[in-house]
Structure 1
Amino acid sequence: MIKGLIGKKLKTTRLKNDMTIQELAEKSQVSSNMISRIERGLTIPSVEILVKLANAFGMSINYFVEEAEKGKTVVHTRKGEGEPIFFFEDKHQITSLTQGVRDPSFAVFYDTLENGCTSGEGEMVHSGEEFALVLQGRLGFFIEGEHYQLEEGDSLTFKGSLPHRWENRYDGQTLVMWVVSPAPNVTQ
């Protein structure tokens, strides 16, 4: 659990600072391989490495350790202050609204989709359930071959085990709030 929390915090901080792993490696004098392993929750960094990483961001080592020690039982996220966890080609940005909660059984994401952004060529299948609420724009959804057109204010709830995909064919940005259970591992 500690490995995952430190890794999530490091990745989130790096993305907030608009840095690549290589840029952070150069600034911190920690190898890019080590940074990648930490972000993916594969290793717990030594105190020396954590100090170097914290210094690269102008922070104290406590920034990484305090949250890893306890996690949170309440996460209050103000508008625009969610934790960015995924970016793809300036077309798709996912922001977590539940990052830092201790042992989550679900996750809430705010998703910004540019025109033409899709979930990919193939259909997704996974365990658990999903809920999608379109806050702005439109989203085309395909579940088991059936098409659903979601307009602003529309929502969709479905089993993740059903083959599904989505696409934004709206001329502007589409904003979607997702609730996913169980919480996916977002450190990879």
Structure 2
Amino acid sequence: MDSSDIGYFGHAVRARRAELGITMDQLAEASGVSRGTLSRIENNALSTSLANAIAIAGALSSDLSALLSPPRATFVPAGDAPTYTDDAGISRTSLARPDPGIELIKFVIPPKATSAQFAAHAESTSETLHVISGKVTYEVDGQEYSLETGDTLTARADRPHRFSNPGGTTCVLHMISASAR
């Protein structure tokens, strides 16, 4: 495998496995590639053989080329991005997933609304928030961070966390959620 493909292959395998909801042990059994080897591949610590790559792709019901090539440009017209609104009225719009483990999200938080407590994400996941308008308080590990329009915060998200809008106007923020590669 070309060295430029190594990093993307590992990320793509992990993402596809997560998408299918299968464990590393299940992938090892289905592909015939040991769990330890799969772990090293997913963590970009090992360049694999073509035979193993083909076996892994087959077990994931994926074309090998899809696991080797970064995605082409993706365009999402305004209004077409999936948006979810919780009971507190907080809306979450997934704007982009440019690479496995990375997501750009837009949150619209009504005045005085508080999110549910988010469970800890995967180890070494971080969230970077940039406040477009309004105010937000981000709480993680017993610490609170108060942000206003134009402020940016990067914090670990591998611990329980939540956010709230303490202000009297709607808060709009963009967040990048990034898991370890």
Category of TM-score, reference length = shorter chain: 0.5 to 0.7
Contact preservation (8 Å) 1:130, 1:179: yes
2:129 to 131, 142, 149: 131
Contact preservation (8 Å) 1:6, 1:64: yes
Matched, 1:75 2:74: yes
Matched, 1:97 2:94: no
* SS class of match (1:50): helix
Give the Cα separation in 1 of the matches to 2:144 and 2:179: 28
Give the Cα separation in 2 of the matches to 1:6 and 1:43: 10
The number of residues matched between the two structures is 139
Task: Tell me the alpha carbon deviations over residues 15-46 of structure 1, each in whole angstroms, 9 at most, x when there is no partner.
Answer: 00001111111111111111111111111111
Contact preservation (8 Å) 2:33, 2:56: yes
Task: Tell me the alpha carbon deviations over residues 32-61 of structure 1, each in whole angstroms, 9 at most, x when there is no partner.
Answer: 111111111111111100111111122222
Partner residue, 1:45: 48
CA RMSD of aligned residues (A): 4.4
What displacement does 1:156 show?
A: 6.0
- Distance change >3 Å, CA 96–CA 16, structure 1 → 2: farther
TM-score by length of 1: 0.54
Partner residue, 1:178: 175
Give the Cα separation in 2 of the matches to 1:95 and 1:53: 30
* SS class of match (1:98): strand
1:2 alignment partner AA? D
- The residue correspondences of 1:139-178 to structure 2 (distance < 5 A) are 140-141=137-138, 147-148=145-146, 157-158=151-152, 160=154, 167-168=161-162, 177-178=174-175
Partner residue, 2:24: 21
Unaligned 5+ runs, structure 2: 83-93, 108-114, 165-172
Partner residue, 1:63: 66
Unaligned 5+ runs, structure 1: 81-93, 101-106, 171-175
Contact preservation (8 Å) 1:8, 1:186: no
TM-score by length of 2: 0.55
Contact preservation (8 Å) 1:131, 1:156: no
Matched, 1:110 2:112: no
* SS class of match (2:51): helix
What displacement does 1:158 show?
A: 2.3
- Distance change >3 Å, CA 56–CA 111, structure 1 → 2: farther
1:36 alignment partner AA? S
* SS class of match (1:59): coil
